[in-house]
Amino acid sequence: MQVEVINTGTELLLGQVVNTHVGYMGERLLGLGLRISRQSTVPDGVVIKGILTEAIDRSRIILVTGGLGPTPDDLSREMTAECLGLKMTEDAAVIDAISRRFSDSAITMRPSNRRQAMVPEGAEVLENDKGTAPGLYLTAGPDDELVHIFLLPGPPRELYPMFEDQVIPRLHAILGNEGANVPVCRNYFFMGLGESELAGRVEESLNAVPGDFEIGYCLKAGGVIVRCISTGDNACVLGGMIRDASPEDFVAEGEAAIEEVAVKSLVHSGESVATAESCTGGLIASRITNVPGASRIFNVGLVTYSNEEKCSLLGVPLSMIEDSGAVSERVAMAMVEGCLERSGSDHCLSVTGIAGPGGGSETKPVGTVWIGLASRGKKAVAFHYRFKAERLYFKERASSVAIDLLRRRIQGYL
């Protein structure tokens, strides 16, 4: 059954608002055995009528978001009614609900809000407990090719509860037995290797696997997501094979942040970590402490941005910095070893680099970074990278790689 999503709103096309609806709907629909086959974004106004007319000819379920407000550019109701040749009348129950919402908020209802109570003939009103714009459910066409149209509010805080409480149950009824064979979609997050390299390993592992399944790949900040869609027990078998295709690079099932995985691993092992950061300015410590439970495993985070503080707080010899430069393997090692000694932690991370846009040289260009890792009872190591990215993304990449190195050490891969 073909599903189409139409997102309305000039603000979406101007980049003033980020469209998150398709991601949310796609995930919820897959749980019903449905997949979005087409998505369109159109500005506010009469253009909605044209795109809806096209959608009715090719899709069986149409989800329209936005355009249900009280202002003149909110025309989803009117354009849908014109498209289907339906008259519109004011719904007394909707007027009452809107009036009560304004009254409860001690705000005077404006005459323009009465537009939100206009309902196309035969439409079913979908109550909105979070706002003044009710949704609408309509059908069009003959019974054997019935098209189901849902008009939904644009703001996520209104759309998502309505989708859960009123759209999903109706879709269950529409599908009937068609929704019995629901596919399973699982995501597997990897770090440390490129998309093509990972795909090669996965495809080789699954080459001889029988059955109907779909594999896809998607870049995520710091890594790659392998998406597997299959049915029944086959999903578990495929998942195991995907993980085993590159076990040292496998981070987690789902899209968990690398810091969540590292913190959980530390909690499980009963170990602790500390950080000594320069170019990342405390971002590694911030990301770790964003995770609930971090207080059980995180001891201290030192931001030794200046050379003087590297010497004072971490014991890095000034002569070493003068000889090798602050951005060097020797300094990264001295930082992490000094942090391990002073913090009493089981593991320590250090990072020193050139975030840019200035400060680089021919031998140490912008984007150069050294990441150190030290653990009690194991040899300290330092790794060299170059991230060709603007300053903020450089810091994100460096912090992600550092935390992943910690994850590998805890899990025994490093």
3-state per-residue secondary structure call for the chain: CCEEEEEECHHHHCCCCCCCHHHHHHHHHHCCCCCEEEEEEECCCCHHHHHHHHHHHHCCEEEEECCCCCCCCCCHHHHHHHHHCCCEEECHHHHHHHHHHHHHCCCCCCHHHHHHHEEECCCEEECCCCCCCCEEEEEECCHHHCEEEEEECCCHHHHHHHHHHHHHHHHHHHHHHHHCCCCEEEEEEECCCCHHHHHHHHHHHHCCCCCCCEEEEEEECCEEEEEEEECCCHHHHHHHHHHHHCHHHEEEECCCCHHHHHHHHHHHHCCCEEEEECCCCCHHHHHHHCCCCHHHCEEEEEECCCHHHHHHHHCCCHHHHHHHCCCCHHHHHHHHHHHHHHHCCCEEEEEEECCCCCCCCCCCCCCEEEEEEEECCCCCEEEEEECCCCHHHHHHHHHHHHHHHHHHHHCCCC
pLDDT 10s digits, 163-185: 999 999 999 999 886 655 677 88
Q: In what order do the strands lie in the sheet with 214-220?
A: 214-220, 223-230, 184-190, 250-253
- The position carrying tokens 């995930």 is 27
Give me 98's structure tokens: 């809107």
Question: In whole angstroms, what is the distance from residue 342 CA to residue 19 CA?
Answer: 47
| pLDDT at res. 179 | 54
pTM of the model: 0.75
Residue 368 has pLDDT above 90, yes or no: yes
> Over the stretch 77-123, which tens digit does the pLDDT of each residue have?
999 999 999 999 999 998 998 888 888 887 888 888 889 999 999 99
CA distance 356 to 359: 6
- pLDDT (tens digit, 9 = 90+) per residue, 20-35? 999 999 989 988 889 9
Distance of alpha carbon 393 from alpha carbon 382, whole angstroms: 21
Rounded Cα distance, 36 and 322, in Å: 59
- pLDDT, position 180: 53
Domains of the chain with CATH codes = 3-179 (3.40.980.10), 184-253 (3.30.70.2860), 258-410 (3.90.950.20)
Within 10 Å of residue 182's Cβ, how many Cβ atoms? Answer: 14
- Cβ proximity of 56 and 110 under 8 Å: no
Before 72, cis peptide (omega within 30)?
A: no
What is the number of other CB atoms lying within 10 angstroms of the CB of residue 387? 21
Query: Given this model, what pLDDT does residue 101 score?
Result: 84
Mean per-residue pLDDT over the chain, rounded: 93
Q: Residue 270 corresponds to which amino acid?
A: G
Report percent pLDDT > 70 for the chain. 98
Read off the pLDDT of each residue in 265-288 and give the average, rounded to a whole number: 98
